[in-house]
């Protein structure tokens, strides 16, 4: 249901590592505002599932992920044989 959607953004231009991190940061800030999720963020129990897009992997993004004690799970790389 849509009552559990915390944040979303529509970008009309290409995404970059900066727009990606801004989105993640905005999500974290909104999650912290919800009482039922606040402790989850504070305890470092946030999992971000990423594909292997280049905007997800720059050092700046990884430094922020470490700084905020976030957990990241990457999906398997694209393989046309699996389609």
Computed from CA positions of residues 49, 3, 34, 39, in that sequence, does the dihedral angle turn out positive or negative? negative
pLDDT of residue 5: 79
Q: Which residues contact 47 (CB under 8 A, 6 or more apart)?
A: 70, 71, 72, 73
Mean pLDDT in order along the chain per 10 residues (83 residues) = 76 89 89 85 85 83 84 82 67
Strand spans (E) along 2-83:
47-50, 71-74
Rounded CA separation 37/71 (Å): 15
Element housing 41 (H / E): helix 35-42
């Amino acid at each position: 249901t849509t009552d559990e959607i915390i944040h979303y953004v529509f970008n009309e231009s290409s995404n970059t590592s900066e727009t990606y991190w801004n989105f993640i940061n905005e999500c974290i800030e909104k999650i912290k505002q919800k009482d039922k999720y606040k402790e989850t963020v504070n305890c470092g129990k946030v999992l971000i599932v990423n594909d292997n897009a280049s905007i997800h992997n720059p050092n700046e993004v990884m430094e922020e992920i470490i700084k905020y004690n976030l957990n990241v799970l990457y999906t398997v790389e694209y393989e046309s044989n699996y389609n």
